[in-house]
Amino acid sequence: MHFEVTILGSNGAIPAHNRYPTSQFLNYNGQGFLLDCGEGTQLQMSKYNIKRGKLDHIFITHIHGDHFFGLMGILTSFNLNYREHPLHIYGYVGIEEIVRTYFKHAQTVLRYELIFHTVTDDRSRLVFENSAISVESIILKHRIPTTGFLFREKSGPRKILPEKLDQYQIPVQEISKIKMGADFVTADGMSIPNSELTHDPSPPRSYAFCTDTSYTETILDQIRGVDVLYHEATFLHEHRERAAETGHSTTREAATIALKANVGKLIVGHFSARYEDLSELLSECKDVFPDTELAIEGHLFSI
């Protein structure tokens, strides 16, 4: 089962140094989820061969322009390309008003349905769920209401041991029951315990997307132990006063969150345009949390 994230945009407020504002594409077994939609997102999707047809869910963390200015473009392109199936948008209440107002004044009637899901900032909530994965909002600490998103894979069925199929002549129609935990009774009445027929499924995987936010430990319990954490690290630690003024985090703050939450890997992004060379930001993170990588555009991270 594929569970992977492609970085489309990694810069902060403005495009700079060939870096675009925040956007990521999450592929879960062929189902596409877009995380934020900064300026240039659809250009980046084309550049990195991400098919728009796979995208049915867009999550917007907050309504600062560097996180959604690409939204109108991609919604319009869907319309021009004769999309017919619905598109779901998740975000704070203002995002629906902005989108509806734009299309109203553009006198554009979409060929497909837009379905908005309001994400509030009072507490974490389940905002999406299907049979394989769930998405929870993460309450962040920024200058305006902002929510990150936590993607959790659900536990799969038990794995049947192939050699047991032949050994006990297990009929095809019994396999799904065994995967769900049932024992098997042979033709001569012998009961074979499930533990002999199967082994545990792979541990469920998780990905937390946290941008934009000041340093806050209120998120620790929710993200504890996730396989991969994306956390903004807009500034070097020497610029921590500027980070606090603007509602952002420093490298060391992002790494400290990763360390305290005991995550598997940290990816940092949302880089300030003042930094062309990102090596010092990475070094500061690694001093605190060694398993840190930069959100370099075009990089694909497997969860």
- The CA angle 125-57-85, to the nearest 5 degrees, is 130
Would you say 147 and 121 are in contact if contact means Cβ atoms under 8 Å apart? yes
As given in the structure block, the two tokens for residue 131 are 């049979």
Q: Which residues pair with 269 in a beta bridge?
A: 232
Active site residues: 66
- The whole-angstrom separation of Cα 108 and Cα 284 is 48
CA nearest 202: which of 235, 157, 169, 244?
Answer: 157
Query: Would you list the DSSP string of 19-55?
Result: BPBSEEEEEETTEEEEEEE-TTHHHHHHHTT--GGGE
∠ CA 8-14-107 to the nearest 5 degrees? 80
